[in-house]
Amino acid sequence: MAINEFNKLSIYVNAPGMYTTIQDKGRVGFQQYGMPVAGPMDSESYLLGQALVGNVETAGALECTLLPPTLTVKGTCIVAFTGADMEPTINSVRVPRYIPFVCHDGDVISGGFSQCGVRMYISFSGGIDVPSINGSVSTHTKAKIGGLEGRPLQKGDELGIKAFARDDVHVCDYRGEGHTLFNTALYNRGGRECHEPLRVVLGDQAKHFTEKGIKTFSDNIYTLTVECDRMGFRLDGPEIEHVDSADIISDGAVFGSIQVPSNGHPIVLMADRQTTGGYTKIGTIITADLPRLSQLPVGDGINFNIVSIDEAQNIYRAYMERLHKRIKLAHEQSAYVFKLDNVI
């Protein structure tokens, strides 16, 4: 069976999950005006989800933290689950991540507590239909903008899903775990199974730290504390020694910047970070490692490996080449979606 058009529909929120927000690529190009970027914490999982449901332009998706929402579909759409393993289900049947499924009117999407990783993305063909602010529908809860009234989902919310059309989409019967586009183990980032160092490029402000402080930073394991959210991850561990004061004149901050305040404990700035910061930044985590960082759970150990700018650029080129190949493969997969045996 093939279909090529999906009418506008809605998704009803039966239960909101632990912390579920609407995110797209983020509010890029407005930081000079004090507007935070927001966007997905794990951009790689988000982009693969968009490709799997056939969205050529990135659109609003759900970012679920630890426990996904329970949703009732009111119409027909394609859905894909990427990122952390929250054992997603359709009509109480467990389905794999990284495979697109077609959902029909009355179908129920749900899942359980994450088995590995922290953030799962639920992508829909056409994307979530909410007002765009500065070119993005991303939710920033502290600024109370984007998504649904700038807040996480609540029980009783109803989300519009945009109409979607493309070349024929072939609907195939799903018969079990044999259908796997990617090696899902590769995407089990986070949890106790992943302890590779996070690679860091030292910046100009590294001069504000003693040689001992930089060695402390690179030679020790830091623990992700409960003080972590979409804005920043506060770490606990040996104190990083400053030459003098930890305070500087506020300057720009990026995703992955590592601030070290006067207590010597690093804070990694994340997707909802402020646009500027007044603490010394010892370095920045490289782009290729940010998705993995975003999936680490509270209590996990983190250690840092200092790399040069040249090394970071080489890693970035290889990472983007690999990611683009996976996105292309996901787009090819989007023409073949699966339905459960109990769905007509």
pLDDT digits (tens, 9 = 90+) for 142-191: 999 999 999 999 999 999 999 988 888 899 888 776 666 554 544 544 44
Q: Where are the beta strands (DSSP E) in 30-134?
A: 61-65, 70-74, 77-85, 89-90, 93-94, 101-103, 108-110, 116-124, 128-129
Please give the C-alpha separations between residue 108 and each of 73, 76, 91, 122, 270, in angstroms, as whole numbers.
6, 12, 5, 13, 32
Lowest mean pLDDT among 69-83, 123-137, 177-191, 241-255: 177-191
Q: What is the structure's pLDDT at 342?
A: 57
Residue pLDDT, tens place only, 96-132: 999 999 999 999 999 999 998 999 999 999 999 999 9
Among the listed residues 96, 94, 61, the one whose alpha carbon sits nearest the alpha carbon of residue 77: 61
Homologous superfamily of 192-319:
Cyclophilin-like (2.40.100.10)
Using the CB atoms, write b or e for 283-319: b if 16+ within 10 Å: bbbbbbbbbbbbbbbeebebebebbeeeebeebeeeb
pLDDT value at 9 more than 60: yes
Please give the C-alpha separations between residue 48 and each of 26, 79, 122, 155, 199, in angstroms, as whole numbers.
16, 12, 11, 28, 23
Q: Where are the domains of the chain?
A: 2-191+322-339, 192-319
- Does the pTM surpass 0.85? The reply is yes
| Most confident of the ranges 12-21, 170-179, 276-285 | 12-21
Among the listed residues 179, 188, 217, 171, the one whose alpha carbon sits nearest the alpha carbon of residue 76: 171
pLDDT value at 295 more than 80: yes
3-class state of residue 219 by DSSP: helix
Residue pLDDT, tens place only, 199-235: 999 999 999 999 999 999 999 999 999 999 999 999 9
pLDDT value at 343 more than 90: no
pLDDT value at 2 more than 80: no
Q: What is the structure's pLDDT at 165?
A: 87
